[in-house]
Amino acid sequence: MTRRLTLLCVPATAALRAGRFPADDALEEGAAVQIARWAGKLGQPDRVLCSPMACARDTVRALGLAATAEDALREVDYGRWRGQSLKDIGAAEPEALAAWLSDPDMHAHGGESLAGVYDRAGLWLSRRAPGHTLAVTHASVIRAVVAHALGAPARSAMQIEIAPQTLTTLSGHGVAWRLTSVAVPAVAQPDAPRY
């Protein structure tokens, strides 16, 4: 039976806008109102899953949906970098930051490597049930799911851009997945250029 997966990338939090590594940040004030406009535009999923992080739970609540939190959909554990700015990390640990930006196996910050995210996302993807699943999660997880679905190595996930408030969709048959769209705005932005 066919599997359909819609991945909704959570909105940017204040930490992300400030250039800080995310912690368990809530949505910014007013974001829920914007998200509520998406309600009814995400199809009729058979199940809704979300990251256990506050911004994902806030997003699901704003959509008026009931979701099951799944640990595999959580944001990267940035260890001691959590909540700190890239600028500060670059000043304090330039070699570690350079390694993190180029090596998916790097976890010298005491948290999780991007290769670890790739592995848990791949395992999660392999366990998707038939029908339509809507998953509300983070760009890091969506990049890993896309790379895994394409059979690409963990390093390739670092080359995929997933913007906040976008949808990525896949369809699956047997063990194979097909990428059908990547990082499409969840709703048309009123000031977005039209081509």
* 132 Cβ neighbours under 8 A, 6+ residues apart: 4, 5, 6, 43, 44, 45, 46, 47
Q: What is the pLDDT of residue 30?
A: 85
SS in 3 state form for 110-146? CCCCHHHHHHHHHHHHHCCCCEEEEEEECHHHHHHHH
Into which CATH architecture does domain 3-185 fall?
Answer: 3-Layer(aba) Sandwich (3.40)
- Per-domain residue ranges of the chain: 3-185
CA 57 to CA 68: how far, in whole Å? 9
User: Given this model, what pLDDT does residue 188 score?
Assistant: 54
The closest alpha carbon to 13, from 67, 56, 48, belongs to 56
pLDDT at 168: 97
pLDDT of residue 186: 84
Residue 187, pLDDT score: 67
pLDDT per 10-residue tile (average), the chain, 195 residues: 93 91 90 86 92 97 96 96 95 94 92 96 96 97 97 94 96 92 77 38
How are beta strands 3-9 and 166-173 bridged, if at all? antiparallel
Q: What is the pLDDT of residue 29?
A: 81
The pLDDT assigned to 114 comes to 95
- pLDDT for 89 equals 96
The DSSP-derived string for 50-81 is: E-SSHHHHHHHHHHT---EE-GGGSPP--GGG
The pLDDT of residue 169 is 97
**Sign for the pseudo-dihedral over CA of 177, 56, 161, 79:** negative
Instruction: Provide the pLDDT for residue 38.
Output: 85
- Contact yes or no for 74/81 (Cβ under 8 A): no
| 3-class SS of residue 175 | coil
Question: Would you say 152 and 24 are in contact if contact means Cβ atoms under 8 Å apart?
Answer: no
